Amino acid sequence: MPSLKQLSINLATLREQWDLRQAVEGCARHGIRAVAPWRDQIAKVGLTESACVLRDNGMRVTGLCRGGMFPAPTEAGRQAALDDNRRALEEAVALGAECLVLVVGGLPGDSRDIAGARRMVEDGIGKLLEAARPAGMPLAIEPLHPMYAADRACVNTLRQALDLCDRLGEGAGVAVDVYHLWWDPELEAQIARAGEGGRLLAYHICDWLVPTRDLLLDRGMMGDGVIELPRIRGWMERAGYGGLHEVEIFSAEDWWMRDPEEVLQTCIARHGSAT
């Protein structure tokens, strides 16, 4: 059974109730010693203060969310995206994050060329790695559910992400998010492949509700949906993953409306009983 020591809270889970300082201090009160902040949360507080808050509360930073969004219709747009990703990399280093999570981006502008968008993604990550490698910051490519292929991420399966890692080489790995990947019949085999290549950088958990009222903002708490979380955790463990289990829940009409203390208490309880 998973222990509290294996739990991390992605701060998106508390974004509507608390700012970064409140969320970090709340996690600390509950004995949670790892978080994954978002860049907009850091920007509101400031990078220097955010780093101090995390350090003062003894927090491990399992990842920074997020970089990515590489495709753009113009060369200037692609350069602007790369510049922003370099800033994200600098922030991840300053916070001592274990990886920079990449949501790679979808079709640029009015394009229908998804293969071209994927080439832009590969080119962008390749250029970002030139700065990430000397900084010692791994880049975690997060494949998203195919429903997001047009607007958020044109990398949609773990196989695609790992093929990309193989071509990019050192410094590239993957974030396995059960919300996006639970349905994939190749998931067990691809997790094993990622483990063999040392590519498993992050593990994000929540649940898929039936019915799902909103495909972006209606993720479920672990145990409330249809994902076989203990089975996937077993695959991760057998593949050699020794990192933490990061709860990431976007829930506009449920968990974001609840007392954040209740949210954290439920995360702890469900992490122990349902994952």
CATH number at residue 260: 3.20.20.150
Asked, as a colleague might, if the bond just before 211 is cis with ω within 30 of 0, I would say yes
d(CA 220, CA 207): 5
Range of the domain at 133: 4-273
pLDDT given for residue 46 in this prediction: 98
- The two structure tokens encoding residue 131: 């700065």
Collect all residues with Cβ–Cβ distance below 8 Å to 57 and sequence separation of at least 6.
Answer: 24, 25, 27, 28
Cβ atoms within 10 Å, residue 70: 28
CB 70 within 8 A of CB 77: no
- The two structure tokens encoding residue 122: 């590969």
Mean pLDDT along residues 7-35: 98
Q: What region, left, alpha or beta, does residue 234 occupy, with left being phi > 0 and alpha being psi -120 to 50 degrees?
A: alpha
**pLDDT tier for residue 145 given thresholds of 50, 70 and 90:** very high
Residue 1 has pLDDT above 90, yes or no: no
Provide the domain count of the chain: 1
Cβ atoms within 10 Å, residue 219: 28
**pLDDT tier for residue 139 given thresholds of 50, 70 and 90:** very high
Residue 165 has pLDDT above 90, yes or no: yes
Mean pLDDT along residues 186-199: 98
Mean pLDDT along residues 260-270: 98
Residue given tokens 């672990």 in the structure block: 222
d(CA 245, CA 23): 17
